[in-house]
C-alpha cells in the first residue's frame, strides 16, 4: 500500500481538480492505497512522513512555497511535478519578465483594491517564480494546463505498479487533422479578427499556433475547435526551448510576412507557459 500526497503551491488547485476527474478510477486507487495529505479532500494540517508518491502542482513564488516544497521532498520517495506551473513555470512564469520587488510595488502601490503603499508583511516573495526543479530534485513530470486525465492516471498506475512512466514524444501537429499545403499567408492574424479556413493549418493561415513546438498527447482539441494551440503542454521531449523551437517552425511564415515580426510583442505568446525555464530567461538571469 502506497502513501500518496496531492497538493499545490501558490494557491493552485486546478490540476488537483483535473485529477478528481478520474472519478471511480481515482477512488479505486485511493481504496487500494492511502491518501495521506490532500488539502482539497482531507482536513489534515501537517505534512506526514514516509510519503511514497507526492504530486505537487503550482510553482514556487514565495519563501513559504520553498519551505513546503523542501519539506515534502525530504519526506517523499518520488516527487512528481504536476501541471504546467510546477513543470515549467506556466503563465505565472511570465512575471519573471519583471523584477519581483518591482511587481510587489506595482501591485500594492498602484492598483485599485489595495491599501496603496502597504505591502503585506507575510508576503516574502522570491525575486522570480520557479518551476519545482529549480528548487528540488523532481523525479517525474506531468505536463499540461491542466494535465490530461490519461497522463495523470498513467503516471499514478505506472509508479504504483513499480514501472517508469512513459510520456508522449510527438508534437500537437502530429495529432491535428488540419491540412498543410506548404503555402503561408503574408499577414499575422488573430482568431477573433479573421475568418479562418476550417480545414487548413492555422499556422499557414497566419495564426500563431504553437502546435509544432508543443508536446502531443492531447489529441489537438484546440486546433480542431478552431482555436490555436497555446502551448500549454510545454516543449516536446527532444526540444530544449519551446519558444525558439516555435520560431524555427515559423520560418516559412516569417519569410512571407509583409510587415515586421516583433519578438517583444509576441514573446508572451511564444513562451506563455514556459518562459520561466527558457534559455532566454536564463540569459536574462545571468545578465542581472
2 confidence band (pLDDT: 50, 70, 90) = very high
Q: From CA 80, how far away is CA 16, in angstroms rounded?
A: 13
Task: Assess whether pLDDT exceeds 90 at residue 17.
Answer: no
Task: Assess whether pLDDT exceeds 90 at residue 55.
Answer: yes
Instruction: Give the number of other Cβ atoms within 10 Å of residue 144's Cβ.
Output: 23
Task: Assess whether pLDDT exceeds 80 at residue 67.
Answer: yes
Domain boundaries, the chain: 3-160, 172-287
Tens of pLDDT along 210-242? 999 999 999 999 999 999 999 999 999 888 899
Residue among 8, 288, 280 nearest 147 (CA): 8
- Helix then strand then coil, % of the chain, to nearest 5: 40, 15, 45
Name the grid cell of 8: 499545490
Peptide bond before residue 63 is cis, with ω within 30 degrees of 0: no
Tens of pLDDT along 21-44? 888 888 888 889 999 999 888 888
Q: Tell me the fold of 3-160.
A: Rossmann fold (3.40.50)
Task: Kindly provide the b/e burial profile for residues 114-140, where b requires at least 16 CB atoms within 10 angstroms of the residue's own CB.
Answer: eeeeeeeeeeebbebbbbbbbbbebbb
Q: Tell me the average pLDDT across 239-252.
A: 88
Q: From CA 280, how far away is CA 170, in angstroms rounded?
A: 24
Burial class of residue 103 in the structure, from the number of CB atoms within 10 Å of its CB (0-12 exposed, 13-18 middle, 19+ buried): middle
Q: Given this model, what pLDDT does residue 19 score?
A: 86
Return mean pLDDT, the chain.
Answer: 89
Give the 3-state secondary structure of 70-132: HHHHHHEEEEEEECHHHHHCCHHHHHHHCCHHHHHHHHHHHCCCCCCCCCCCCCCEEEEEECH
Tens of pLDDT along 130-144? 999 999 999 999 999
Q: From CA 126, how far away is CA 123, in angstroms rounded?
A: 9
Amino acid at each position: 500500500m502506497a502513501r500518496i500526497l496531492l497538493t499545490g503551491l501558490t494557491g493552485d488547485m486546478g490540476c488537483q481538480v483535473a485529477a478528481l476527474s478520474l472519478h471511480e478510477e481515482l477512488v479505486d486507487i485511493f481504496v487500494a492505497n492511502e491518501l495521506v495529505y490532500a488539502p482539497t479532500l482531507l482536513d489534515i494540517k501537517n505534512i506526514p512522513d514516509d510519503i511514497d508518491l507526492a504530486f505537487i502542482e503550482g510553482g514556487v513564488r514565495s519563501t513559504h512555497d520553498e519551505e513546503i516544497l523542501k519539506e515534502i521532498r525530504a519526506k517523499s520517495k518520488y516527487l512528481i511535478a504536476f501541471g504546467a506551473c510546477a513543470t515549467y513555470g506556466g503563465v505565472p512564469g511570465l512575471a519573471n519578465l519583471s523584477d519581483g520587488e518591482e511587481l510587489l510595488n506595482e501591485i500594492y502601490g498602484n492598483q485599485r483594491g489595495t491599501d496603496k503603499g502597504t505591502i503585506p508583511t507575510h508576503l516574502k516573495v522570491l525575486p522570480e517564480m520557479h518551476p519545482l526543479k529549480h528548487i528540488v530534485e523532481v523525479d517525474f513530470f506531468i505536463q499540461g494546463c491542466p494535465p490530461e486525465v490519461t497522463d495523470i492516471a498513467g503516471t499514478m498506475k505506472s509508479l504504483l505498479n513499480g514501472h517508469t512512466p512513459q510520456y508522449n514524444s510527438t508534437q500537437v501537429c502530429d495529432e491535428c487533422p488540419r491540412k498543410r499545403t506548404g503555402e503561408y499567408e503574408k499577414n499575422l492574424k488573430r482568431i477573433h479578427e479573421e475568418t479562418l479556413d476550417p480545414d487548413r493549418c492555422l499556422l499557414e493561415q497566419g495564426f500563431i499556433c504553437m502546435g509544432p513546438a508543443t508536446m502531443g498527447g492531447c489529441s489537438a482539441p484546440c486546433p480542431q475547435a478552431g482555436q490555436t494551440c497555446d502551448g500549454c503542454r510545454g516543449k516536446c521531449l527532444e526540444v530544449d526551448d519551446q519558444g525558439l523551437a516555435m520560431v524555427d517552425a515559423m520560418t516559412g511564415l516569417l519569410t512571407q510576412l509583409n510587415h515586421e515580426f516583433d519578438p517583444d510583442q509576441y514573446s508572451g505568446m511564444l513562451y506563455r507557459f514556459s518562459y520561466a525555464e527558457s534559455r532566454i530567461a536564463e540569459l536574462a538571469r545571468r545578465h542581472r
